[in-house]
Chain A
Amino acid sequence: MTINITSAKYLYGEEGTKKNVEIVVDGKTWGVPMDNNNSDYKEILEWAAIEGNNITDPELSKTCINID
């Protein structure tokens, strides 16, 4: 992990699928595409793999630990 993520949640696209993860890093909000070529997304995957970190899913009103 190299960036300081303090929260993360999924954003849904027009097809009703998860396409981006909204994260807050050092107080700034970023929308990160779920694309392995995006280096921030790789960071999110590492962050989410750490126990206690969760990417919240507002559509399903539940918490997911794994992205895929």
Chain B
Amino acid sequence: MGGITRGIANRLGAGGVGANFRNILINGDMSVDQRGSATGLTSDTIGNGADRFYVRVNDRNNFAFSMENSTDVPSGEGFSNSHKITTTTAETSLGSAGILRYGQRIEGNMLKGLKYGTTNAQKVVVQFWVKCSVTGTFVFELWNRKSSWYNSKSFTIDSANTWQKIIKTFDGDTVNDFNIDTSVQLEANVWWAAGTSFSSSGTVTGGDWNSDATKRAGGLSNAFTTTLNATFFTTGWQLEVGTSTSAFERLPIDVNLRRCQRYYQRVDDASGACGQYAGRSFGTTQITFGVPLSTPLRASPSVSLTGSLRAFHGSGYNDTSGSMGVSHWQKDSSIVSLESTGFSSIVDNRIYNVCHINSTILEMSSEI
């Protein structure tokens, strides 16, 4: 029975719905976008346009950008979505500690198979598609966050506005391991631009794990970030053990969504009155209430409320629009207890039904 199951999984993995989870990255096909687009961005931003992917910004002068999901994809490759980033204000004077890059932070629990820090450290290969409106040299980097060791390889976009597949292989690191836990242990990044702190030692030679940060992003042309209205599309991100790429692993959309929801979930009442929670009052301003989770969150979440929650008791009600936080969170639990001290004139120690009103959005983020 087990052999039959494995056989099916292997065949599907050759190009169909392969559920063997060989892709270490999540949402590589950019099909999940829980947050939607955002513009006027000038600092670190994660998930807008495609869950799990983020833009890192440091020591910028005037770089601003937008993030959105797009249906512009490489033809005939089986993708429906890409992640589009647009330069809305061009950078003119990036600081020495400047960082403008794109990528995904990876949780330690996803990295067991790499066997880093042992003589059996595995080679990995990354693949992704990119289409940029400006040509130039970029750098793809693996960054061991535990040890602060790096491995970078450059690639060139030599034809503007043309989809191009990037493939890079990396040796395993036999020296530095990962913590196999819920914290960020590895990053997979594309550098768009870098200050001298990350580029002063010249161009990347590639292939060697090292601790010299000045070699992380040498030789960049920075053209994407210095060009107003430049666009950067990307999709098909896959990082896997091995020395050659396999077909992109296509997960069912429900599986892909659940994997993203380990890091971010939202209850958005704009699409229907789905947010109703049982609560209990403490004093005259605070109600604690349980929110069902789509899947257990990685860690106790940051909570944001857009709009108002209404607490009903008997024929009366009270509203809150803020002072939200976590009351209790437990690892692997499918419910989290939230609290708000933003209510007024409620009665102590009563049961309340807490509801979204109008277009209230409740966001819970356990991103890393």
Contact = CB atoms under 8 A, between A and B. Distances in A.
A20 B325 contact: yes
B40 to A, nearest CB: 9
A39 B56 contact: no
Interface stretch (A29-37, A45-53, A60-68): A29-37
Contacts of B368: 39
A33 B329 contact: yes
B25 interface: no
Contacts of B365: 30, 40
B341 A33 contact: no
Interface in B298-349: 298-305, 322-327, 329, 339, 341
Contact of B367 (A20, A31, A33, A39): A39
B324 A14 contact: no
Contacts of B282: 14
Give the bracket for the number of chain B residues in contact with chain A.
20 to 34
A13 B339 contact: yes
A30 B306 CA distance: 10
Contacts of A30: 302-304, 365
B341 A35 contact: no
Given A19-B325, A39-B184, A39-B368, A31 B302 contact: yes
A33 B324 CA distance: 10
B325 A31 contact: yes
B286 interface: yes
Contact of B300 (A4, A11, A28, A35): A35
Interface in A1-17: 2-4, 11-14
B326 A31 contact: yes
B366 interface: yes
Given A14-B282, A14-B288, A26-B43, A19 B327 contact: yes
Given A2-B44, A20-B325, A39-B368, A33 B182 contact: no
B203 interface: no
A33 B325 contact: yes
A28 B42 CA distance: 14
A2 B56 contact: yes
B179 interface: no
B323 A38 contact: no
B58 interface: yes
Nearest to B367: A39
Given A2-B56, A39-B367, A20 B326 contact: yes
A33 B302 contact: yes
A57 interface: no
Nearest to B58: A2
Nearest to B342: A11
Nearest to A14: B282
B37 interface: no
B183 interface: yes
Contact of A38 (B56, B302, B322, B324): B302
A31 B323 contact: yes
A4 B288 CA distance: 29
Contacts of B302: 30-33, 38, 40
Given A3-B43, A29-B304, A38-B366, A13 B299 contact: no
23 contacts: A2-B44, A2-B56, A2-B58, A4-B44, A13-B325, A14-B282, A19-B326, A22-B325, A26-B43, A30-B302, A30-B303, A31-B323, A31-B324, A33-B300, A33-B301, A33-B326, A35-B299, A37-B299, A38-B299, A38-B300, A38-B366, A39-B368, A40-B302
Interface of A: 2-4, 11-14, 19-20, 22, 26, 28-33, 35, 37-40
